[in-house]
Amino acid sequence: MNILSTLIIHSIMTYNMPTLPYANDALEPVISQETIDYHYGKHLQTYINNLNALVPGTNDEGKSLEEIVATTNDTPIFNNAGQVLNHTLYFLQFTPYPSASKPQGALAEMIRRDFGNFENFKDEMTKASSTLFGSGWAWLALDKDGKLVIVKEANGGNPLRQGMKPLLGFDVWEHAYYLDYQNRRTDHLARLWDIIDWEVVQKRM
């Protein structure tokens, strides 16, 4: 194998940190710079490092994050791939300067169709996030029939495993909010609505 081939394979098999579209302190006071520094800079980096160490030489070699999450059983590879994908979607769905306080266009119409109105959806999403026991995620997802649903996933789970498309995710692992809100998970959730980039969420449909 020549050097070029080795470099190409290495490039394909390396999972990388997503680039934040904002500065580490830009989401304050909703999410502090300290939380971003730890949550994004350390927790996510650790998941990526673990994944890059675990995948080579396995059946998951050469797969995208989405393929691993959708097809791999509960293994250390799945756990780390799920958390890399989840956190990538999570961090990229925020902006310090949302263009709108709620969804517009097609996404807004689908929310009205499937939840009655935006406030009903917001209440259901918040309830799912606040009542999830232990660590995990609450997701707004698009199911196989094109319906919007709210899904609870434990640990590093993702709706992809059920053939759904994840659109918006709330991280309720304690490391996502404890530095800023301590045990007040619901206070953290209430503030997240102020920084959602609904344009990004709609593009995931």
Nearest Cα residue to 188 out of 120, 140, 126, 139 = 126
Provide the pLDDT for residue 13: 62
Provide the pLDDT for residue 74: 85
Contact 92, 200 (CB under 8 A): yes
Contact 80, 89 (CB under 8 A): no
Using alpha carbons only, give the angle 123, 44, 66 rounded to the nearest 5 degrees.
75
Contact 56, 66 (CB under 8 A): no
Provide the pLDDT for residue 12: 54
Which 3-state string (H, E, C) describes 10-60?
HHHHCCCCCCCCCCCCCCCCCCCHHHHHHHHHHHHHHHHHHHHHHCCCCCC
- In sequence order, what E strands does the chain have? 136-142, 148-154, 165-171
Q: Mark the ranges of the chain whose per-residue pLDDT is less than 70.
A: 1-13
Contact 147, 114 (CB under 8 A): yes
Query: Which tens digit of pLDDT belongs to each residue from 99-134?
Result: 999 999 999 999 999 999 999 999 999 999 999 999
Provide the pLDDT for residue 196: 98
Provide the pLDDT for residue 145: 96
Nearest Cα residue to 197 out of 101, 94, 103 = 94
All structural domains of the chain with their residue ranges: 105-203
Contact 137, 169 (CB under 8 A): yes
How far is the C-alpha of 41 from the C-alpha of 96, rounded, in Å?
Answer: 18
**CATH number for the domain whose boundaries are 105-203:** 3.55.40.20
Provide the pLDDT for residue 10: 44
